Structure 1
Amino acid sequence: MGRLVKKGHSVAEQVRRGEIAPVYCLYGEEEYRREQVLNQLLDALLTASERDLNLDQIRPGDGERQSILGSARTLPFLARRRVVLIRGVEELSKEQQEELLAYLNDPSPTSCLVLTGKRLDLRTRLAAALQKKGMLLRFDRMEADTLKEALLATAKEQGTRLQPDAIDLLMALVGDDVRQLMYNVEKVALFVGEREEISAKDVEALVGETRVRSIFQLTDAVSGRDLDVALRCLTSLLESGEEPLAIIGMLARQIRLLVQAKTLQEQSATAGRMTHAFGGLPPRVVAALAKQSASRSWRQLSGALQSLSGADLAIKTGRAAAPVILTGLVWDLCLA
């Protein structure tokens, strides 16, 4: 069995206590928390001065790939250990997986492997070996209630409180991108200064009335398949300096809302039950989601989610200019 984090201790704390596994695998859709724990783990494994000569970062899809086995077998230089960080565990080729399996049968006592990525197929031999020899840390996307609690905690750390309507508006504007939400909570906390509470008006004032309008119009236009309005809103957001990945986050949230609405419809949910399930959204918005989801098939919604995932990856890897990618995405979402 893979080792688990003991209650009351983070994985970084375990490392500092000398409880170090030969391999760690951090995976899951929640990138913000995954990267946060990854940075804490790396800080515990290596000091800042040790990183330059003892941290190898490998991306499986790189053209000139570095040997994982060769890096892991290299002795540390003026440090107690060497760390090999492999980003994109889901991109490992069969050859690389076999290489890792061979290494895990006899891991180096002076090296630590750290793997991270969005997905890990738990049915594979590699996943079984990772669980047996080391530690698996899974980071699922936060549910709405958990996400709200995290936002409240972040605001408290900043010395202020978030009013419920402020949270609802922030999530409506930003979506469920945890990184963007936390960043905006910190930003609005600075905006209100010494005031003890953050209101919805503060959130609206921070992001700007034009942006608020454009965001709602974009998501509504995409849900309603109004291509002309959606493209105009997209142009407005980009010209105002909106982050492309934040726009994808907003659109992804809207498509997930349509998926949720369609699921509830197929369960013959009443209007009251649907409104309760969408806690925080006005009844008129829930009614619109129900109408819009009814006009889309499950195949179309699945295709929309795939288009969003593809656009997200294309922007992160720089395959094309973000405006071009987003324009193509909006076309796909409206015409699907």
Structure 2
Amino acid sequence: MTSQELETNIRKGQIPKLCYLYGEESFLVERAARLLLDRAIDQSLKDFNFNVFYGNESRGIDIVDAAQTLPMFAERRAVLVKRSELLKAEALEILLPYVQKPAESTCLIFTGTKVDQRKKIFSEFKKQGALVEFKRLYDNKLSNFVQTEANLSGKPIEPAGADLLALLIGNNLQELSSQIEKLVVYAGSRQRITAEDVRTIASSSKAFTAFELARFLGIKDLQNALRSLETLFKNGEGVPPILGALSRHFRQLWRVREMLDQKNSQGDISRELGINTFFLGEYLQQAKNFGRGELRIIFDALYRCDVSSKSGGHPYTLMHALAVGICKGRFE
């Protein structure tokens, strides 16, 4: 079963007797577990019909006993087992008979980071319930995630706003969700969240300052680039995340530059590189500031800056020299 199928079933009221939620993306795992618990049991009777266990502390029999207990004053009870990847082999052996024949009146939920599907208990999960993996989202899926989250919050977001928020925050779904909550409040009575709303709300974040640094370097505005760099260091940002942001930005500029050199249309560039038309003009302007040979030199400088920062080089001195080199076209 996929995560989308599970969520659809839950929202339809189809509650599995067994559910194992796992994967790299803990935010999605925990959110799915919350949704399942919200729908599985009467929240007013939760104190009577809900138990939580931890895999590193459980012997297995305690989970089975709780799962076999009849619900009080309700149709169903729920049992949640966190850190399930830490369950010992002995505990899994004790749990296996229950998984093969689960109680009709219990929703037993396991959450964890990984499973060994060679073990029989997990094949039984597939037969009797749901074994669902939540993979880390690729960068090109983040904008869709933002738009979906905003719709669920009752306040749609412009595609350009979703793209910008995904670009600023990156693959941190917890932080993306938190920013969407702020944007919903900020938008107030307006029907949609705009890209300008995103700029305003995110303007105090380190991610936004790194984004601004990359933009100022792209237009070769040394004065504002150095101001952004100083702000990042004052806020405690380290060299690796700054270099990561710059590398992503200049990699995109390189791709735009290549397509410009190949005489591709603006529409082709937007579609091929997945750049929202809201930002395309800015990318085109910046890409025209650099030839491909110059971009190769910049990537070499980014690499040398990374190596030097890890071997004792002074962070601000290194980044200052990098900014000057990009804007002036001269590297020592």
- Report the TM range for the smaller structure's normalisation: 0.5 to 0.7
Contact conserved, 2:146 with 2:176, CA < 8 A, in 1?
yes
- How many pairs align? 268
Relative to the length of structure 1, the TM-score reads: 0.60
Preserved CA contact (<8 Å) 2:150 2:180? yes
Match of 2:220 in 1: none
Decide which of 40, 46, 64 is 1:45's aligned counterpart.
Answer: 40
Which residue type is aligned with residue 68 of structure 1?
A: I
Give the corresponding residue for 1:119.
114
Q: Does 1:10 align with 2:6?
A: no
SS of the residue 1:52 aligns to:
coil
3-state SS, counterpart of residue 191 of structure 1: helix
Question: Could you tell me how far apart the structure 2 residues matched to 1:66 and 1:146 are?
Answer: 41
The Cα of 1:55 is off from its aligned counterpart by: 0.9
Aligned-pair CA distance for 1:3: 11
Aligned to 2:299: 291
In the alignment, which of 200, 209, 223 is matched to residue 205 of structure 1? 200
1:142 aligns with 2:141: no
Asked whether the equivalents of residues 5 and 14 of structure 1 are also in contact (C-alpha less than 8 Å), the reply is: no
User: Which of these residues, 8, 17, 26, is aligned with residue 21 of structure 2?
Assistant: 26
What letter is aligned with 1:11?
I
Structure number with larger C-alpha Rg: 2
2: CA distance, partners of 1:175 / 1:85 = 30
Cα deviation, residue 24, structure 1? 1.1
Structure 2 unaligned blocks of 5 or more: 216-227, 261-268, 308-314, 316-332
- 2-structure distance, mates of 1:198, 1:144: 21
Tell me how far apart the structure 1 counterparts of residues 2 and 208 of structure 2 sit (CA, whole Å): 49
Distance in 1 of aligned mates of 2:298 and 2:52: 46
What residue number does 1:70 align with?
65
Identity of matched residues, %: 24
Distance 1:234 1:79, change over 3 A: farther
Give, in angstroms, the shift of residue 179 of structure 1.
Answer: 3.1
Distance 2:128 2:154 in 1: 42
Helix, strand or coil for the counterpart of 1:61? coil
Residues in 2 aligned to 1:151 and 1:5: alpha-carbon distance in whole angstroms: 16
Alpha-carbon offset, residue 23 of structure 1: 1.0
Between the aligned partners of 1:37 and 1:107, the Cα distance in structure 2 is: 21
Give the alignment's TM-score, normalised by structure 2.
0.60
Q: Which runs of 5+ in 1 are unaligned?
A: 221-228, 239-246, 301-329, 331-336
* Distance in 2, Cα, partners of 1:55 & 1:292: 57
1:158-169 aligned within 5 A: 162-169=157-164
Pairwise CA distance, 1:87: 1.3
Distance 2:153 2:180 in 1: 9
CA RMSD of aligned residues (A): 4.9
The CA distance in 2 between the partners of 1:28 and 1:133, in whole Å, is 20
Which residue of the partner structure matches residue 90 of structure 1? 85
Deviation at 1:201, TM superposition (A): 3.3
Classify the secondary structure of the residue corresponding to 2:34. Answer: helix
2:129 counterpart letter in structure 1? G
1:193 equivalent to 2:188? Answer yes
> SS in structure 1 opposite 2:115?
coil
